[in-house]
Every structure is written in C-alpha cells, then in structure tokens.
Amino acid sequence: MIWQNYRFKALAGLALAPLLSFHPALASPGDEHSSHHAAMSGTTETTRTIEVIARDIEFSVSEIDVRQGETVRFVIRNEGELDHDFTIGDANTQAAHRAEMQAMMSGMSDGHSHMHNAANAVMIAPGTTAELLWTFGEDTNVQFGCNVPGHFESGMAGRFDVQS
C-alpha cells in the first residue's frame, strides 16, 4: 500500500509539473539566484549525444567526461521499475532538489515550489526516455543524480569530469 501511495504521488507530481513555478535552485544559469554554474544551452546545436540508462537504484555510468563549452544532448532511458529523475547541478543544487522531491512525495509540499522537467532536471517514468540539453561552463564540481527520495543516497549519482 505504501508503494502505491508513493507511485501515485510521483505520478501526480508529473501531471502537475507543467503548472508549477520555477524554484530558484533550478533557475536558469543567468538568474542571480542560480545555485549551479553550468549553463543550459539556448540552442539545439549539440557537440554529442550521451545515453544514460536508469535502472532501479543505479545509472549505467558513474562518471562522464565533458569539455568546458561543450553542449551535450543527454538521452536518459528508464529500464527500471521505479520512477527516476536526472538532475544536473552542483552539490547545493542536488541537495535542494532532494529536499523538494522529498516534500513533494511526502505530501508536505504545496506544489508551487517544485518544477520538474526544468532546465537541469527531467523525470523519467519506467519504460520511457527523456532528453536534456546542457552546456558545460567553467564549474568543475558538477554532478548528476536521481533525487527521488532514497535514490541519490543509495548511490544513484555520478560526476562530470569537466576538462578545459
């Protein structure tokens, strides 16, 4: 019963996502409140495509090599049984996103402080694929992770090795 309640809340969050407002932790890089330092690409011109497979409590990769200024198209495929998200950002962004996901899925959120499928995060339901375009800046402390409650803490995270 708990699992069904969790799944319902996750799906409800997905349905409401387009109606929700942007939270500063997920704001675009030019925003003065932004907590991450890489930039979302304003164009669809990409340097390359990287596929990441999400399985239950793991990604297919734990480190991804990128170059500063490179625009990457991430294709994230969920081959697991659980909902996942793929969030790009520094440690503070990841922590803020985890707190928002926890509040949203525990029913403690008013639904107005969390936005999914934002510039740096996509939600991926089981059996589906999502895409995210990202241009890497000078920040070398960029991570990716699944911030569904318990997933990041269980090791569903990785880092980008940003080369100049």
Residue 52 near residue 86 (C-beta atoms within 8 A): yes
Instruction: Give the separation between CA 96 and CA 115, rounded to whole angstroms.
Output: 12
pLDDT at 139: 93
Total number of domains constituting the chain: 1
Boundaries of domain holding 141: 2-163
What predicted TM-score, i.e. pTM, was given to this entire model? 0.71
pLDDT digits over 61-76, tens only? Answer: 999 999 999 999 999 9
CATH number of the domain enclosing 10: 2.60.40.420
pLDDT digits over 106-130, tens only? Answer: 766 454 444 455 799 999 999 999 9
